Amino acid sequence: MSPDVIKRYYFEVADKSQVPVLVYNIPQNTGLSVEPSTVIELSHHPNIAGVKDSSGVLSNLTEVVPGVRPDFRFLLGAGSIFLAGLLLGASGGILALAAAVPELCVEIQVLFRRGKLAEARKLQLDLAPLNKALTQTLGIPAIKYALDLLGYAGGAPRPPLLPLDESGKAQVRHLLVKLGLLES
- Ramachandran region of residue 180, left (φ > 0), alpha (ψ -120 to 50) or beta? left
Work out the burial of residue 103: count CB atoms within 10 Å of its CB; fewer than 13 is exposed, 13-18 middle, 19 or more buried: exposed
Of 7, 52, 144, 169, the catalytic one is 52
Work out the burial of residue 153: count CB atoms within 10 Å of its CB; fewer than 13 is exposed, 13-18 middle, 19 or more buried: exposed
**Residue 55 and residue 25 in contact, taking contact as beta carbons nearer than 8 Å:** yes
**Residue 80 and residue 113 in contact, taking contact as beta carbons nearer than 8 Å:** no
Beta bridge partners of 93: 76
Distance between CA atoms of residues 1 and 113, nearest Å: 38
Distance between CA atoms of residues 76 and 181, nearest Å: 24
Active-site residue flag, 52: yes
Residues acting as catalytic residues: 52
